[in-house]
A and B are shown apart, each in its own frame.
Chain A
Amino acid sequence: MPNVKRDRGASKQAVAGPTIAGAFGRVVRWEVALAIALVAVFVLGTASSPHFLTNYDLFTTCTNLGDVAIMALPMTLIIMTGEIDLSVASTLALGGETLGYLTLHHWPLALILLVVIAVGLVAGAINGLLVTVVGLPSLAVTIGTLTLYRGIANVILGANTVSSFPSFFNTLGVDPVPGVPFLSYSVLVFLVLAVIVGVVLHMTPLGRSLHAIGLNKEAARHAGFNVQRVKLGLFIFSGVVCALVGMLYTFELNSAAEGIGIGFELKVITIVLLGGVSIFGGRGTIIGVVLAGFLFAGLQSFVLVSTSLNEDDFQVVTGALLVLSVLVPNSRAFAQRGRELWRRRQARSALRQPT
């Protein structure tokens, strides 16, 4: 495996770390930068507004963060293997609308849970099968299913709005975890799942196979990894998690209605890429994604508390963050490319002169 990494590090990135130590050092630096940015946001926030960092504000920040951050975990794994899943928000809607529809028809919650898991499983499996068996690019497939699942979700509930959920569940969005006044249930779920995914990604052969697949699919296949099955599994994992987040999100809103979670895929992908996961696959850490999640939420809270911008306006910041988090890690490659172009131009003009 080390050979694979070294090869890719040298050819694809063409900068820094041709060795694992170099690559590792760069990743760590990215995370340190994230941590510093996180601290900076909190310091700035506290300095600029007395509302920032109060229990209430932290809790609101937490609820904003939680659902999106949970979906960022399977997305991290998928992007690690060089694929992408744009259908996450629509799968979330499928989960939420299914919950609403079945609640409307008085199904017991345990059964609803099973159905929602099944829905997520099918949604993920369709993505995964089209990507692995049919061999389509995940970008195309998940743009298609983004539309398809959203369309189905809209049809399930129609114009109905459902909000008669059991009393424990409809307080999920307003009550913190008992004893921790700033922690929302969604963030608790996120942290627990992050630990699990982190252990799997960084400490098991399966996790290492994800790195390998992302770095060089062919090499991974020759090394004996079942690339197709791993990818299929990841898409299914993503589907199930997103459908379940749909349930959680619906409980938090205490209402199932058309059009939930539109545009969440942007936030999810932003958190993942801001966390230092390479869009080309093969590199990234869960700790980075967790830090990026909190940085994103902190930034959003800071902007909303201290400026007149509202949540819709914040899209500008999210978009800018997303572009930056792809541009910055690749900036050294551009610099090199620029120099190369410059040299080529010089050479061309040098050639032209004698004639």
Chain B
Amino acid sequence: MSGAADMAPASDLASRRRLVDFVLRARTFGIVAVLALLVLVATLIQARFLDKANVSFILSQASLYALVAIGEAMVIITRNVDLSVGSVCGISAYLSAHLFAQHPGIAIPLVFLAGLVIGLISGVLTGAIVAICRVPSLVVTLAMLYAIRGIDTVIVGPGQVLASTEPTAFLNIPTAAVLGVPDVAIVVTVLVAIAAYYMHSFRSGRDLYAIGSDPQAARLAGIPIAKRVFTAFVISGACAGLAGALWASEYATIDSTAANGLELQIVAAVVIGGVAIFGGSGSVVGAALGALLLQAINSALNVTGVLPTTWTEGITGFLMLVAITMDRGIQLRVSTALRRRRVRLGA
């Protein structure tokens, strides 16, 4: 297996790597360019778009989505998908916020920890079914989506957590800011950076890419596929659970429909952010940028009033289709280019 790679000239490998790097970077720059264009146009139409309040609102919203997108990106890179994140986020939002009513005066970090644990539990469950039983993740996570939401409605019933039961310090989390940048955004940026470093430089992180680009080859190369896929799902669950607690602090009033349909926005953000839906390429940073772009679009529609906000969902779906179609084109181009290069180098 490794013989072929060893025999290829080093320059070939390097150039191959450069090309792939270039394409990935171009994809990320594409998102940034679209984002810049959007900001420009929205600000020209309505200067209020760049108001401090609006920008910090977009950033704190995007942070929540980006947090979930970190885990989702890891899962999608392994050629799987996690559709249960919305339900996990919802149930975690309710259960963690409910702690304030059950144990008045509970420390806020404990509440976030509770959210994280709820996410971990569901991630372990989903990951175990997908990885050990080798059942398509689409079906398993679709089932989990509804099963967890169902458990949520059974627990919550017609009730809800009211803002009055939550301490002000908790509700202030989304608006707390350093120099105009929300604390939440800083924390999530750090998390994204850690995840990006892990995916880029750790062997187990690289394995996720290998599994996604060719499961068969990954297996032959001795990569523990089940273990890695399991880990990806656990991380995805943890992110969604943590985001649930954040969701509670952001929306304050939580009933059984919290974060309903979130999974579609997250998958869209990840895919728009350049993570190929067939796995094997993309980055966590791109996914986070995708989340930021979607939130910026949402806010732009809201602030400029060019289109009613009911269009958001349609635009999201459309962008997602454009992104996957484009990725397919890029993928074909790159593989043709690589093949041609190999021929030229006589490798």
How far apart sit A140 and B324, CA to CA, in the bound complex (Å)? 8
Is there contact, CB below 8 Å, between B146 and A266?
yes
How far apart sit A158 and B314, CA to CA, in the bound complex (Å)? 13
Which of A101-109, A187-195, A307-315 has 4 or more CB atoms under 8 Å from chain B? A307-315
Residues of A close to B104: CB separation below 8 A: none
Question: Does A347 interact with chain B (Cβ within 8 Å)?
Answer: no
How far apart sit A134 and B314, CA to CA, in the bound complex (Å)? 21
Question: Does B191 interact with chain A (Cβ within 8 Å)?
Answer: no
In the complex formed, the residue of B with least CB distance to A154 is B310
B310's contact among A144, A158, A266, by CB below 8 Å, is which? A158
Q: Nearest-CB distance from B300 to chain A (Å)?
A: 16
How far apart sit A238 and B122, CA to CA, in the bound complex (Å)? 33
B153's contact among A130, A141, A313, by CB below 8 Å, is which? A313
Question: Does B145 interact with chain A (Cβ within 8 Å)?
Answer: yes
How far apart sit A150 and B129, CA to CA, in the bound complex (Å)? 30
A312's contact among B150, B277, B314, by CB below 8 Å, is which? B150
Is there contact, CB below 8 Å, between B324 and A330?
no
Known: A315-B147, A319-B146. A146 touches B134 (CB 8 A): no
Is there contact, CB below 8 Å, between A323 and B143?
yes
B318's contact among A148, A158, A319, by CB below 8 Å, is which? A148
Residues of B close to A53: CB separation below 8 A: none
How far apart sit A279 and B135, CA to CA, in the bound complex (Å)? 9
Question: Does A304 interact with chain B (Cβ within 8 Å)?
Answer: no
Residues 296-330 (chain B) with a chain A CB within 8 angstroms: 308, 310-318, 320-321, 324-325, 328
Residues of B close to A334: CB separation below 8 A: 132-134
Q: Give the interface SS of chain B, mostly helix, strand, loop or mixed.
A: helix
Known: A136-B324, A139-B81, A269-B139. A316 touches B314 (CB 8 A): no
Is there contact, CB below 8 Å, between B314 and A136?
no
How far apart sit A149 and B328, CA to CA, in the bound complex (Å)? 22
How far apart sit A152 and B136, CA to CA, in the bound complex (Å)? 29
Residues 128-142 (chain A) with a chain B CB within 8 angstroms: 130, 134-137, 139-141
Q: Nearest-CB distance from B316 to chain A (Å)?
A: 5
Residues of B close to A316: CB separation below 8 A: 146-147, 150-151, 154
B316's contact among A140, A151, A322, A330, by CB below 8 Å, is which? A151
Is there contact, CB below 8 Å, between A319 and B321?
no
Question: Does A166 interact with chain B (Cβ within 8 Å)?
Answer: no
Q: Nearest-CB distance from A191 to chain B (Å)?
A: 27
Is there contact, CB below 8 Å, between A144 and B321?
yes
Known: A130-B321, A134-B328. A139 touches B150 (CB 8 A): no
Known: A135-B328, A334-B132. A322 touches B317 (CB 8 A): no
In the complex formed, the residue of B with least CB distance to A313 is B154
In the complex formed, the residue of A with least CB distance to B278 is A137
Question: Does B149 interact with chain A (Cβ within 8 Å)?
Answer: yes
Is there contact, CB below 8 Å, between B139 and A263?
no
Among B138, B277, B278, B313, the most chain A Cβ lie within 10 Å of the Cβ of B313
Is there contact, CB below 8 Å, between A326 and B136?
yes
Among B138, B146, B268, B318, the most chain A Cβ lie within 10 Å of the Cβ of B146
Question: Does B113 interact with chain A (Cβ within 8 Å)?
Answer: no
How far apart sit A149 and B147, CA to CA, in the bound complex (Å)? 25
Is there contact, CB below 8 Å, between A155 and B139?
no
Known: A137-B277, A323-B140. A147 touches B316 (CB 8 A): yes
Interface 1/0 per residue, B320-345 and A, CB below 8 Å: 11001100100000000000000000
How far apart sit A199 and B311, CA to CA, in the bound complex (Å)? 42
Residues of B close to A158: CB separation below 8 A: 308, 310
Is there contact, CB below 8 Å, between A143 and B310?
no
Is there contact, CB below 8 Å, between B139 and A273?
yes
Residues of A close to B328: CB separation below 8 A: 134-136
In the complex formed, the residue of B with least CB distance to A139 is B138
Residues of A close to B324: CB separation below 8 A: 136, 140-141, 144
Is there contact, CB below 8 Å, between B143 and A319?
yes
In the complex formed, the residue of B with least CB distance to A263 is B146
Is there contact, CB below 8 Å, between B150 and A147?
no
How far apart sit A84 and B321, CA to CA, in the bound complex (Å)? 16
Residues 83-116 (chain B) with a chain A CB within 8 angstroms: none
Residues of A close to B277: CB separation below 8 A: 136-137, 139-140
Among A141, A310, A322, the most chain B Cβ lie within 10 Å of the Cβ of A322
Is there contact, CB below 8 Å, between A136 and B325?
yes
Is there contact, CB below 8 Å, between B311 and A151?
yes
Is there contact, CB below 8 Å, between B150 and A150?
no
Q: Nearest-CB distance from A279 to chain B (Å)?
A: 6
Q: Nearest-CB distance from B161 to chain A (Å)?
A: 18
Known: A269-B139, A319-B145. A314 touches B150 (CB 8 A): yes
Question: Does B144 interact with chain A (Cβ within 8 Å)?
Answer: yes
Interface 1/0 per residue, B137-175 and A, CB below 8 Å: 011101111111111011000000000000000000000
Residues of B close to A152: CB separation below 8 A: 314
17 further contact pairs, Cβ within 8 A, besides A140-B278, A147-B313, A147-B314: A130-B321, A135-B328, A141-B321, A146-B264, A147-B264, A148-B314, A148-B318, A151-B315, A266-B143, A269-B139, A312-B150, A313-B153, A317-B150, A323-B143, A326-B140, A333-B134, A337-B134
26 example contacts (A-B, Cβ-Cβ < 8 A) are as follows A134-B328, A139-B277, A140-B277, A140-B278, A143-B320, A144-B271, A145-B317, A145-B321, A147-B264, A147-B313, A148-B316, A148-B320, A150-B317, A151-B318, A154-B313, A158-B308, A279-B139, A313-B150, A316-B147, A319-B144, A319-B147, A320-B143, A320-B147, A323-B143, A326-B135, A326-B139
> Which 10 A-B residue pairs are closest in the complex by CB-CB distance?
A151-B314, A148-B317, A319-B147, A147-B317, A316-B150, A315-B150, A151-B313, A140-B277, A322-B143, A315-B146
